[in-house]
Structure 1
């Protein structure tokens, strides 16, 4: 399934707003979190930081998505800025736009049910994995490594992903 676009009101740790369309060609890791979520602080954010350190930026983009669905008064942009500095978070972080319902827009569009949530996109912008809660670093690293062996090919009908491990001299299976 093609990932919906992010609906963000403000960005931190980046000079320009990010769009998933602009990140095509890279594997994208979206880590949705809340500042007051213990699982986010103990597991989700450290995992995202580890992925950012492990994989080259030109191949894997790590994005934080601050999704506020409770404790709205405590989770302001000023508080988020202090939180990002305190935890030395350097990857780009967007503030999910509040929706008409109880969940913020991007969280709702992606079908996230809580935090921490991690969504993994392939180089064509397709959702290939969706995790709620603690994710094994080894499992995620394996999923990303597998995606990095694939190549995105544009065709008249759209983009397809080719697994390079299926390539033989002169041809690849789609």
Structure 2
């Protein structure tokens, strides 16, 4: 786990699902934030990343941990539009808030994905209670390892 250095970059979403109020990292200070960046056509996201994010959402108290999805589309744009995403979230029973990452330059990465220097999807980011990015994983992360990292961040402010 890296030491805190500066606040995590803001999430630049053009639309949110599963929430009445668009969440902001500033408003979530005091809780550990888990961001699961995914694409609905990404096999690793569907088989590992999103189920893991759902388990985190169902396991930890919302007073301690908040899970946010970030649909960061960098390929197959036409097939991964917000209408398709809404159906996908319903079919896969994704209950946590999911933002649609704002598009970047044509042919480039979405804005939030670029701000975080993500290599692709799935990417999981852990932000501590003070709003600092502490962990960033690209690809599959074992549940036990991730649970230990989340618990360490929860315990820091206890």
TM-score, with length taken from structure 1? 0.86
Consecutive unaligned residues of structure 1, counting only runs of 5 or more, are 152-163, 165-174
Aligned residues: 152
Instruction: Measure, in 2, the Cα distance between the counterparts of 1:146 and 1:4.
Output: 22
Q: For 1:57-68, what aligned pairs fall within 5 Å after superposition?
A: 57-68=62-73
Q: Return the match for 1:53 from 51, 55, 58.
A: 58
Is 1:39–2:21 an aligned residue pair? no
Consecutive unaligned residues of structure 2, counting only runs of 5 or more, are 1-5
Instruction: Measure, in 1, the Cα distance between the counterparts of 2:7 and 2:121.
Output: 22
Report the CA distance between 1:9 and its aligned residue: 0.1
Considering Cα pairs closer than 8 Å and 6+ residues apart, tell me whether 1 or 2 has the greater RCO. Answer: 2
Instruction: Measure, in 2, the Cα distance between the counterparts of 1:77 and 1:150.
Output: 37
Instruction: Measure, in 2, the Cα distance between the counterparts of 1:11 and 1:98.
Output: 14
Report the CA distance between 1:51 and its aligned residue: 0.4
Larger radius of gyration: 1
Report the CA distance between 1:150 and its aligned residue: 1.3
Q: Which runs of 4+ in 1 moved over 4 A?
A: none
Match of 1:118 in 2: 124
Instruction: Measure, in 1, the Cα distance between the counterparts of 2:12 and 2:153.
Output: 25
Instruction: Measure, in 1, the Cα distance between the counterparts of 2:93 and 2:27.
Output: 25
RMSD: 0.8
Match of 1:79 in 2: 84
Match of 2:31 in 1: 26
Q: Which one has the bigger strand percentage?
A: 1
Report the CA distance between 1:144 and its aligned residue: 0.6
TM-score, with length taken from structure 2? 0.94
